[in-house]
Amino acid sequence: MTIVASTLDFRELARRRLPPFLFEYIDGGSYSETTLRRNVADLETIALRQRVLRDIGTLDPSTELFGQRMALPVALAPIGLAGMNARRGEVQAARAAEKAGVPFCLSTVSACPIDEVARGTTRPFWFQLYMIRDRGFMRDLLAQARAAGCSALVFTVDMPVPGSRYRDYRSGLAGASGWRGAARRFGQALRHPRWAWDVGVHGRPHQLGNVAPVLGNSSGLEDFLGWMRNNFDPTVTWRDLDWVRREWDGPLILKGVLDAEDAREAAALGADGLVVSNHGGRQLDGTPSTVRALPAIAAAVGDRLTVLADGGVRTGLDVVRMLALGARGVLLGRAWAYALAAGGEAGVARMLALIEAEMRVAMALTGCTDVAAIGPDVLVRD
């Protein structure tokens, strides 16, 4: 039995519970997964500067982003198919985030559609969108997000084409289409009866909830990767984002920026924020880790828009490291996906509680009583 003492323990529980085609999809990256490993390894090398005999009797890890008060400077990042990790999983994760006082961001390619998540929660959540060839479909999704009261739009800009993820082919999520692919995934599900009963039987429908209206019957798992290849727009440029800015009048956050020049373009466009991200190492392998790219981007545009970051964040210590390097907030990806698979809503709630506890220790031992005090001075300089 695995005892959950840290957020890292959820990964092993998720591996045991999920069929391989789902676990490898969450866990893997593109090509040889060099960038995926860099995200974690480079973040671990950032040394915190321990300070002593400071008055840390009152610690406040809360912050404000995009007009929203948050209990922690973290949000749950958009993850495609996350709703397959537990029964109607995105709703469970959104509830946990709401109770913890942090934002949840719903992916375009989620299992649960926007209206289902809205019915299952009482506070606004964020919505993530890709640039899709069919602008009419994008306009409809944005209208749904507005109707649901979504408080921010996270627009992913680093996916004009999907990355090549070898694990998805080996596991059977990609490559094996039709009855062969379905039979392979069914066989994996039978070897994981708890998941099969909770999600496979009682978690239906198994489809891309937000795109089901346009795909009809072809909106199941076997259509997931094919839909992305066929519908993402590889011709998108900065000019196309003017259309998004016109269609969405709330906070606009561009996700997937790794270069300072691109960050300046985002600021010139009028974006309210950006996420320094390499898509969790799932797109272009061999790029810098986000923690290496973050300082230059924060220096370039941190005074013009809100800089967020993701990639390799597994603990509350990692959150503090990202904040010290210039981020105003941090998006958690795999951390909440593992926790959802391991324990549903309760697992995500436990993960967020652990992140908060670890943050508080790091803040106390670096002499920071609030989030605004976390800056370059808490890092050890070579």
Q: Which of these is catalytic: 192, 202, 206, 279?
A: 279
* The two three-digit tokens of residue 52, written as one number: 């002593």
Distances (CA, A) of 42 to 263, 267, 311, 356, 359: 21, 27, 10, 22, 19
Supply angle C-alpha 298, 275, 14, rounded to 5.
130
Q: Is 106 helix (H, G, I), strand (E, B) or coil?
A: strand
Torsions phi, psi of 159, nearest 5?
-140, 55
CA dihedral sign of residues 238, 242, 247, 252: positive
Place of tokens 């346009």: 214
DSSP state of 101: T
Within its chain, how far is the Cα of 198 from the centroid? 24
Amino acid at 242: D
DSSP states along 241-301:
HHHHHHH--S-EEEEEE-SHHHHHHHHHHT-SEEEE--GGGTSSTTPPPHHHHHHHHHHHH
- Angstrom distance (rounded) from CA 102 to CA 62: 9
- Angstrom distance (rounded) from CA 294 to CA 290: 6
Q: Which of 225, 182, 195 is nearest to 19 (CA)?
A: 195
Q: Is 192 a catalytic residue?
A: no
Amino acid at 148: A
- Angstrom distance (rounded) from CA 93 to CA 111: 12
Q: Which of 309, 328, 329, 324 is nearest to 377 (CA)?
A: 324
Active site residues: 279
